[in-house]
Amino acid sequence: MKIKNAKITKALAYAGTIIIWIPILFTLITSAVGSIGSKSFLMDYFIPAELFPVELFGALLLLWAAIRSRIYRKSFGGLMVTMLASLAGSQGIAVLTGLAKGTIKQAGWQFYLVMGLIALYIAAVIAQCILGIFMILKIREKEKKQV
């Protein structure tokens, strides 16, 4: 199947993949630097959630490239929904239970539910990062077949 305007689609896939990796790589780099400096393991696992606009922009570019190339459309759509629902859910539950205001301790089912949703958000982002690489490889493969 022919890819509609392959150069633009490939550019969208590359840009989306690079952009969505930025918060994940930033988290890992700052963790490594901080851990080496303090000689104990440190990681701010909220960085990908705090940099949500960057993640969203990269995810939208990947979704656009997936729609144009007809590669992994459902996967990117499902991961986008998972990403948005888990982040919104974690914030909503934190606010509704009082965890966000500090009126309850950072323990108990509320805390673990919020942390589980943040973990699900990060897993969805990482899955999009990896799927973006696979999409680029498939686009390049299709492009070679068209020539």
Domain boundaries, the chain: 6-146
Contact between 55 and 86 (Cβ < 8 Å): no
Q: Check residue 120 and give its pLDDT.
A: 97
Cβ within 8 Å of residue 113, ≥6 positions away: 93
Q: Check residue 2 and give its pLDDT.
A: 61
Cβ within 8 Å of residue 87, ≥6 positions away: 49, 52, 117, 118, 121
Per-residue pLDDT tens digits of the chain, which is 147 residues long: 566 677 899 999 999 999 999 999 999 999 999 889 888 888 888 899 999 999 999 999 999 999 998 999 999 999 999 999 999 999 999 999 888 888 888 888 889 999 999 999 999 999 999 999 999 999 988 878 776
Q: Check residue 50 and give its pLDDT.
A: 92
